[in-house]
A and B are shown apart, each in its own frame.
Chain A
Amino acid sequence: MMDLGKYAAEVISAWGISLAALAGLVWWSVRRDRKVRAELERTERDHG
């Protein structure tokens, strides 16, 4: 691990929060897309 000096806590928390937020956004979008795709397939089979 590299030395971040006296700002280590700030840098790591800022990076951690940001990357978590981005990952969460991507995960949420992908999951919702999969769900809707499956739902559409089911609906098209039933009603299409």
Chain B
Amino acid sequence: MSIWSYANPRKFLDTTAPWVPWLMWLSAAVLAVGLVWGFFFTPEAERFGSSVKIIYLHVPSALMAINAWLMMLVASLIWLIRRHHVSALAARAAAPVGMVMTLIALITGAIWGQPMWGTWWAWDPRLTSFLILFLFYLGYIALWTAIPDPDSAADLTSVLCLVGSVFAILSRYAVNFWNQGLHQGASLSLDKQENVADVFWVPLLVCMAGFVLLFLALVLLRTGTEIRARRIAALRARARRVEPVRA
């Protein structure tokens, strides 16, 4: 069976609805394991002291902030090319989640930056890029809520998502060019894990898995909500057409 059969809203709902609570609890469990492990059972890092514990929230949320945008980009492309409503609604559902992730990454970064760099905020390339990403999320969500017609809203936000992605990448390089920062390099990419000692790395991986699961659960739940909201609007519109005058 092809994956596109899930583009049918009814089938999507029937398939995903039973999964959502399970995914929620699973992500809660994984997050609990990772966070408790990270908070209580990891040593302090030499240079960071106990502030290293912020990493268990900072890095996974930053990861999901970017992944959420990538998911929205893919979903927007699918909508523009194949016109599956579920795809457009999934992009809409993911945006607030991605925005909250970006916000968490920014706030934890600022709090962490205060003892490490001696300042809440530095115009460091990575921080600045995340701030710009946050603005992109704001604009995207605002455009969704501003357009009354759902299909036009899906089209226009998809176009914005595509153009925004290009400009987000441009901004990333522009910001790099503009200021070389304080931020440590990508010490946490999957292929370079030897940069982080295993005592931190393993619980961090668990936390990242928990964030991925939480993101999945939230997006599925919220996509379902959007599909139902769309159905309500359609039913009401039909009722208005059938009985134009209602006492």
Contact = CB atoms under 8 A, between A and B. Distances in A.
Direct contact of A and B (CB under 8 A): yes
Interface of A: 2, 4-8, 10-11, 13-15, 17-19, 21-22, 24-26, 29-30, 32-33, 36-37, 39-40, 43-44, 46-48
Contacts of B57: 14-15, 18-19
Contacts of A15: 39, 53-54, 57
A43 to B, nearest CB: 5
Contact of A18 (B108, B115, B235): B108
A47 B236 contact: yes
A6 to B, nearest CB: 7
B85 interface: no
B103 A14 contact: no
Given A18-B107, A32-B225, A2 B40 contact: yes
Contacts of B51: 7, 10-11
Interface in B198-247: 214, 218, 221-222, 224-225, 228-229, 231-232, 235-236, 238-239
B100 interface: yes
List 3 tightest A-B contacts by C-beta distance, closest first.
A7-B51, A47-B239, A14-B111
Contacts of B50: 4-8, 11
A36 B225 contact: yes
12 contacts: A10-B51, A14-B108, A21-B100, A21-B103, A25-B96, A29-B218, A36-B229, A37-B228, A39-B232, A40-B231, A47-B236, A47-B238
Interface in B112-134: 112, 114-115
Contacts of B111: 10, 13-14, 17
Interface string B4-45: 000000000000000000001000000000000001100010
Interface string B158-189: 00000000000000000000000000000000
